Amino acid sequence: MLIKSKMGEYSVVRPLTLGEWANHYLVTDGEGIARILMVARRPIDNGKVDSTFVALEKLLEKSDELEQIYSETSDKKLHYDWLFPTVLDRFSIASQADRKALVLEYRDADPREFFPLVQVLNQNQRLDFKTSAWVLGRFLKLEDFFELADEKRPLYLPFVQQNILISPENHRMMPLDWSRITRRKTRDQLETNLHKEVSFIEELINAKSFYTLETPKGDFRKYRAYSASLAEADKGYLELLKLCHWLIDGLDVTNDPGGRTRLTFDPEDIHRKFYHGYCCDGRNYEGLDDLYGREFHPFTTLPR
């Protein structure tokens, strides 16, 4: 099927998700480049697509702004713009009840390289520690970016397992269905989301063997096998994930066996502690650096 807008034509390759408010399709544009087409499910969902457009534009604007700030003190790049798609085209499909549509691009990535992470669970397989660590790092970076993008009214994308795409080659992780994005109403929503994200990672590494994943291109790839016996560092990693839950709860005395006092936190703080560990009440808590000897490079976030 060919979908036309004023800017171009998009050939539908295959559906990706049929969501509550929007459907997503893998399409190719006139030059054969793969894109994601997001279409309101029904005309009454047009507002959701418009809100998605506003949110993604705002994220892009903020990402550029933060990149500019960071470039004044660093040669590195923040690459917050790798966490969300950018809108290339926006139009109504006149022949289909004027439903609103967005054409989305993943910066520096081919959407055909991404696959739904939930496939790992569906096939009763496992994710290796290294991959799981960067997926969690990306989650924390995304939540941190939402806080940075609008401190007063942060954006909020409820975590749903089925919505997560990854591309292991270039360490990319991205939610597919952005029509769920809204404004965060309470701090609890952030905490709940973070808990779900860490739990998802725990679930992903608690399976049995190596994993084979199908990309949207339709090919199957085999990723690293995992030894049945846990190395000491890997045992420590599982402890680190537990620690993440405590950090999300702000080390509330009711949740923390150490009975320590409640600490303030934000996603960036957890992100930093996840990689570098931290010291509290005279005790050292190991991060990925300690466990794997700097094998993991933390994702760059704006220093505060």
Partner 1 sequence: MGRDLFTRTSYEAARVAHKVTKTSHVTREAEQKAHSTGKLNPAVDPAVDMIRRSLMRFEPKDDGTFEVTVGCPIPIESTCDTTGSMGNNVDIAMKNFPDLYELAAEFLPGYDPQFALGIFGDVCDRFVFQRPQFEMTPGAIVNYLKNMVPEHAGGDVPEDPHYGLFAAAYMTSAYANRIGLKGYHFLITDASAHTRFSYDTFVRIFGDKFLERVHENGFENISKESISSLSIGEVVLDLLKRSHAYMIHIGSSWGSSNFWEQIYGAERVVMIPSTEYLPVVEAAIIGLTEGTLDVGDLKGYLKKHIQPVKVVNQLATELEKIDLRAQEALRYKITGDGHQIPKAGDIFRSKTDLWPISDEESLESDPSDDSEASEKLEWV
Binding site for partner 1 (CB under 8 A): 1, 3, 12, 15, 23, 25, 37, 39, 42-47, 50-51, 53-54, 58, 90, 93, 95-96, 152-153, 183, 185
Q: How far is the CB of 182 from partner 1 (least distance, A)?
A: 8
Q: How far is the CB of 63 from partner 1 (least distance, A)?
A: 16
Structure-block tokens of residue 179:
């029509």
Distance CA 114, CA 217 (A): 9
> Residue 27 or residue 201: which is nearer to partner 1 going by CB?
27
Q: How far is the CB of 44 from partner 1 (least distance, A)?
A: 4
Element housing 26 (H / E) = strand 22-28
Distance CA 238, CA 248 (A): 16
Q: How far is the CB of 7 from partner 1 (least distance, A)?
A: 13
Query: Do the Cβ atoms of 100 and 89 come closer than 8 Å?
Result: no
Query: Do the Cβ atoms of 235 and 268 come closer than 8 Å?
Result: no
Distance CA 301, CA 304 (A): 9
Alpha helix stretches (DSSP H) within the chain = 46-71, 118-122, 129-149, 187-205, 232-248, 267-276, 288-292
> Residue 97 or residue 225: which is nearer to partner 1 going by CB?
97
Contacts 24+ apart (CB under 8 A), 12-15: 12/37, 13/216, 14/216
> Residue 5 or residue 123: which is nearer to partner 1 going by CB?
5
Q: How far is the CB of 178 from partner 1 (least distance, A)?
A: 15
Distance CA 38, CA 50 (A): 11
> Residue 153 or residue 294: which is nearer to partner 1 going by CB?
153
Structure-block tokens of residue 266:
């934000």
Q: How far is the CB of 67 from partner 1 (least distance, A)?
A: 20
Q: How far is the CB of 4 from partner 1 (least distance, A)?
A: 12
With tokens 């939930």, the residue in question is 118
Structure-block tokens of residue 208:
């049995």
